[in-house]
Amino acid sequence: MNGGTNVLPGAIVTGSSRGIGAAIARRLASEGYGVSINYVNDAAGAASLAEEITGSGGRAIVVRADVSNYDEVAHLVEETAKAFGGIRIVVNNAGFSQHRRIGEMTIDDWNRAIAINLSGAFHTVKAALPHLEREEWGRIVNICSLRAMTGSDHGAHYAAAKSGLIGLTKSLARELAPRITVNAISPGYTRTDMTARTLAEKGEEIYASIPAGRAAEPEEIAALAAFLASEEAGYITGETINANGGIYMR
């Protein structure tokens, strides 16, 4: 941690109780941001991360909010602004995927995937925007997916939502320039709960198809998110950066 030398306003990382979100929250806290650890089910994971961050000199609060619910997101935003005196960074990371072929996909499955992966990002940005504008500086980072580019034969709802997130990223980048940049990261296979079963069952076959020969660690995605959220990344906006070990090249 930065030992309190650099005290910056708030950063919201949705879905940060575990996985990629937890790595991003840890990283931003180490740079001096007050971070909101957001979860929907895993209260223990969120509390343990907050304890780890505060225990090493950082600042963190824990806020439960389902990103698919605007009122809960608005509460997350207000709690963050109150705790840290402002908000400069929003990372839309909360995500939901499930294995569903189109024939077996219910209307509820579809709506849930869109509500969490796409509407969730809109909710956070809508609620946080007045705070970013007050700072006259802001960074929005949307965690997208390889599936936005390749499509998916077992999750059309997820791929469609993540493709939509790229459209949202570009639109917000145009609208909010120049003081607020908006970018997306499209991770490939990353070692988290989301991929644990697939990697356990088919890891060797998957790694053979990735030029890097392995899955990413959450910290590698977090390093890229931290860069896009930094002062130095000010000339990058509306971009989607692939971090996929070369499995898909545009």
Ligand X SMILES: NC(=O)c1ccc[n+]([C@@H]2O[C@H](COP(=O)([O-])OP(=O)(O)OC[C@H]3O[C@@H](n4cnc5c(N)ncnc54)[C@H](OP(=O)(O)O)[C@@H]3O)[C@@H](O)[C@H]2O)c1
The DSSP bridge partners found for residue 139 are: 89, 181
The yes or no reply on residue 20 touching ligand X (CB under 6 A) is: yes
Q: Could you tell me where the DSSP H helices lie in 67-154?
A: 70-84, 107-114, 120-135, 147-150
Q: Which 106-145 residues touch ligand X, going by CB under 6 A?
A: 116, 143, 145
161-190: which residues touch ligand X (CB under 6 A)? 187, 189-190
**Contact set for ligand X, span 204-243 (CB under 6 A):** none
Give, in order, the Cα–Cα distances in Å from 1 to each of 58, 59, 239.
6, 10, 29
Span interacting with ligand X, options 33-41, 53-61, 206-214, 226-234, rule CB under 6 A: 33-41
Of 67 and 160, which CB lies nearer to ligand X in the complex structure? 67
Binding-site member from 13, 29, 40, 62 for ligand X (CB under 6 A): 40
Work out which of 67, 125, 128, 225 binds ligand X, going by CB under 6 A.
67
178-209 in b/e burial notation, b at 16+ Cβ within 10 A?
A: eebbbbbbbbbbbbbebbeeebeeeeeebbee
Angle at 150 between CA 156 and CA 246, to 5 degrees: 140
User: Which amino acid does the sequence have at 222?
Assistant: A
Decide: is 90 part of the binding site for ligand X (CB under 6 A). Answer: no
CB of 238 to ligand X, least distance (A): 19
Alpha-carbon distance of 19 to 137, in angstroms, equals 27
Nearest distance in Å: CB 40, ligand X: 4
Residue 227: how many other CB atoms lie within 10 Å: 16
Give yes or no: 189 in active site. no
**Residue from 33, 39, 70, 158 carrying the catalytic annotation:** 158
Residues binding ligand X (CB under 6 A): 14-21, 38-42, 45, 66-68, 93-97, 116, 143, 145-146, 187, 189-190, 192-195
Question: What amino acid positions are annotated as catalytic residues?
Answer: 158
